Amino acid sequence: MNHDFSKLPEIFDRYSRNPESLIAVLQDIQQEYHYLPCEALQETAKNLSVPLSKVFSVSTFYNAFSLTPRGKKIIRICKGTACHIRGAYQLQHQFETMLGIKAGETSKDLKYTLEVVNCVGACAMAPVVIVDEKYHGSVDVSNVKRLIKRG
């Protein structure tokens, strides 16, 4: 995939190329490209003066980072306890069946990414599904089709 990497120096400068800012730099890169492209990781290693192996280990350790491109529409199912006992498992199953992908995967046409998150702290409205940053509360399996289509 071709990306415009001209924004990277600005991100590195934002944190004075400080090695301790590695996580923050990777977060900003992910914000920009929606995932962590390989070239960007190499540039990060060079500019922050940290070994590429460390950049790789940090970007695979934390759940927030993705090393593969993500879809246009990102559907996140909250799997917190409150959501779990109010049916998040059934929701996940329904999304997986309807989208034909498993949680953590992106559809081949790069339209959808399905993710599960541990708890988004909106337990009062469980179960919660977040479609492109918009929270949907008290979701049940009959809403899944609509959420996929319109979000």
Partner 1 sequence: MRIESVEQLRKLEKKYRGETESHPVRVHICYGPGCLANGAQEIGDRFRKVIKEKKLKNFKVEAIKETGCHGFCERGPLVVLEPEGTFYTKVKVKDVEAIVEKSLGKSEIIESLLYTNPADDKKIQRYKDIPFYAHQKRIALRNLGQIDQTSLHDYIAAGGYQGLAKALTAMNPNKVIKEVELSGIRGRGGGGFATGRKWATCAKIESDVRYVVCNGDEGDPGAFMDRAIMEGDPHTVLEGMIICAYAVGSTQGYVYVRDEYPLAVVHLQKAIEDAEAVGLIGENILGTGFSFHIAISRGAGAFVCGESSALMRSVAGEVGEPRAKYIRSVVKGLKDKPTVLNNVETFACIPVILSEGGKAFSKIGTPKSTGTKAFSLVGKIENTGLIEVPMGTTLREIIYNIGGGIKDGKPFKAVQTGGPSGGCLPESKLDLPVDFDTLTEAGSMMGSGGMIVMDDATCVVDVARYFLSFLVEESCGKCVPCREGLYQLHQSAVRICEGKGTDDDLEIMQHLSDMIVIGSLCGLGTSGPNPFLSTIRYFRDEYEAHIKEKKCPAGVCTALITYIITDRCTGCLACIPACATDAITGKKGQVHQLAQDKCDRCGACYAVCKYDAIEIH
Binding site for partner 1 (CB under 8 A): 19-24, 26-27, 57-58, 61-65, 79-87, 90, 93-94, 97-98, 117-126, 128, 135-137, 140-142, 144-145
73 with 115: CB under 8 angstroms? no
Q: How far is the CB of 140 from partner 1 (least distance, A)?
A: 5
Minimum CB–partner distance for residue 95 and partner 1 (Å): 10
- Of 73 and 93, the one with the shorter C-beta distance to partner 1 is 93
Nearer to partner 1, 2 or 31 (CB): 31
Measured between its terminal Cα atoms, the distance across the chain in Å is: 27
Provide the minimum distance between the beta carbon of 7 and partner 1 in the complex, in angstroms, as a whole number: 19
Nearer to partner 1, 38 or 64 (CB): 64
Rounded-to-integer distance, Cα 30 and Cα 121, Å: 22
Please report which residue ranges of the chain form alpha helices under DSSP H: 8-14, 22-33, 38-48, 52-61, 81-85, 88-99, 144-149
Select 6 or 151, whichever has its Cβ closest to partner 1. Answer: 151
Estimate to the nearest angstrom the gap between the alpha carbon of 22 and the chain centroid: 18
